[in-house]
Amino acid sequence: MSIPNVTAFELGKFLQIAYSEGVRNQISTDFRDWEMIKRARVSDPDGRQLNFLIQTSLGPSAIQYVSPGVTGQFPSSQQITTQECSALYKELASTIEIEYSVWDRARKSPSKYAEPLAKEIESKTVASKRRLAADLYGDGTGVVGRVLTEVSLVAGLVTINLNAAATEPGHVGFFEFNDVLSANQASGAARNNASALNLYRVVGRNRKLDQVTLQAIDAAGANISPASTNLAAGDYFYRSGQPTKPDRAAPGDYGNVTEAIPGLFSLAANDGRVVHGITMSGVTAGSQIDAAGNPLDVSQIQELMSNVKTIVGQSAYSWKQLVMAPEALDSLIESRETDRRFNSVEDTTRGARKFVYQHQNDSLECITSEYVQKKLVYAMPEAKSGQKVIESYMTDFEPVTMGNQMSEFHLKPVSGGYQRSVVSFMQAMGTLVVKHPAAIAVLKNFAI
């Protein structure tokens, strides 16, 4: 039995509806990783791509011992080796839209209604920064996750177990609520369901189980109930608007295989893949340690840092952050309790508290991110010279206008006229480059 409202009275509906101040958002608006990209900013992108040189050898064979009592030659010369590489600038676009009538009435009655356009702009700005924050840890293919098994399908709602291996660039943290995804085979071809569609909306996720729940939808966004998804183990989910779905068997250069920027999963790889023309192996690979499935432990962090300092030296870099998933930090609690190299630092003035691992002269603060794959930890380097190691050539999001000739907001065009909606477009451009991949230390494949 429901309790009748005052609207049951004849004149009750004349009473205004009161709203509490603000909109009570239910979605995370955290984009701390975007701040990391901003700190790594070197300059605005200029032109269509960035060319740079890397050095891969000092020519060590040219230095040899000789016998002073024997007439002979100087050692054979061995020049340094360099390689020219290219990074293509990527573009990220955002569309803002609101019905004209709603916008106009809110503009005329600001005391009664929240400004809907301001809320829409704010939300799209946050969503854009969260997109780049996620891509910081991606591989450049734009993959969101990979199917391990299909758990259930009920009335168009499909529950999926995701492949959570350390070799997977996509994971549960990349699934944003209400985002629209497409299901694709490893070849890049669409994986159509029984309704000949491959579109899904994210409606739920379980980080602990590496599980997501998706709603099958049609091209207009309406819910559908296909008899089968036809999803198979090994299928990939991408964001539906991504133009290029790559062939995973032969992706090519991860710097330009899709429209997505390459992130740390590729920029610090050590598996022979090619990024910006750099083959990620040997001297140009990230400094990775494989935990071989053992539980995450502080001894592995110690080995990780000792390894990277042996490879790149200790004079040029310092390391101040260990970036990991929240689950990875949780698993380090026991090690923190029993190892004096793991310290708890508390700022009694501001109330801030952090966990710090001490390796020789470097104090590494443990930073958590929802976008880091659970079985990866990144030790982020900083050059003591003040130069950037991870370089961001990225513009801020700006409205798309033609100078002073065009407003930032205009009516949405449709066939034969204009729709009663106000639209605006925003765009950012750029990419990420790593100056010295080996300076990034990566711990992978641990159990948590």
pLDDT tens per residue across span 72-126: 788 888 888 888 888 999 999 998 888 888 878 777 776 666 677 777 888 888 8
The answer as to whether 187 is a domain residue is yes
How many residues are given for the chain? 448
User: CB–CB of 165/241 below 8 Å?
Assistant: no
Q: Which of 228, 250, 272 is the last residue of a domain?
A: 250
Residues 410, 378, single domain; the answer is: yes
Q: Which residues contact 17 (CB under 8 A, 6 or more apart)?
A: none
Residue 234 domain-assigned (yes or no): yes
Residue 441 sits in which domain range?
84-112+254-448
- Answer whether residue 432 is part of any domain: yes
Residue-level pLDDT at 351: 45
CA distance 6 to 359: 67
Higher-confidence residue of 371 and 35: namely 371
Is residue 40 a part of any domain in this protein? no
Half-sphere exposure of 230 (CA within 13 A, CB side): 15
Distance CA 162, CA 278 (A): 30
Domain final position from 230, 250, 270: 250
* Domain count across the chain: 2
Band of the pLDDT at 350, cuts 50, 70, 90? very low
Give mean pLDDT, residues 260-288: 95
Together in a domain, 186 and 312: no
Each residue's pLDDT tens digit, 156-203: 999 999 999 999 999 999 999 999 999 999 999 999 999 999 999 999
**So what's the pLDDT on residue 12?**
78
Whether residues 232 and 282 fall in one domain: no
The alpha carbon dihedral of 297, 302, 305, 311 has a sign of negative
Q: How many degrees, rounded to 5, is the angle at CA 394 between CA 324 and CA 83?
A: 85
Task: Select from 219, 250, 281 the last residue of a domain.
Answer: 250
408 and 386 within one domain = yes
Q: Phi, psi at residue 25, to the nearest 5°?
A: -70, 140
Both 288 and 406 in a single domain?
Answer: yes
CB 144 within 8 A of CB 176: no
Q: What is the CATH classification number for the domain harbouring 222?
A: 2.40.30
In a domain, 188, yes or no: yes
| Phi, psi dihedral angles at 31 (to 5 degrees) | -140, 45
pLDDT in tens, 48-63: 888 888 888 888 888 8
Q: Cα–Cα distance between 183 and 279 in angstroms, integer?
A: 29
297's tokens: 């432990």
Assess if residue 200 is contained within a domain. Answer: yes
Residues 287 and 186 in one domain: no
Same-domain status, 243 and 258: no
The per-residue pLDDT for range 404-444, each reduced to its tens digit, is 666 777 888 888 888 888 888 888 899 999 999 999 999 99
The predicted model scores a pTM of: 0.87
Is residue 60 assigned to a domain?
no
Q: Are residues 203 and 237 in the same domain?
A: yes
Q: Which of 40, 14, 11, 7 is nearest to 133 (CA)?
A: 40
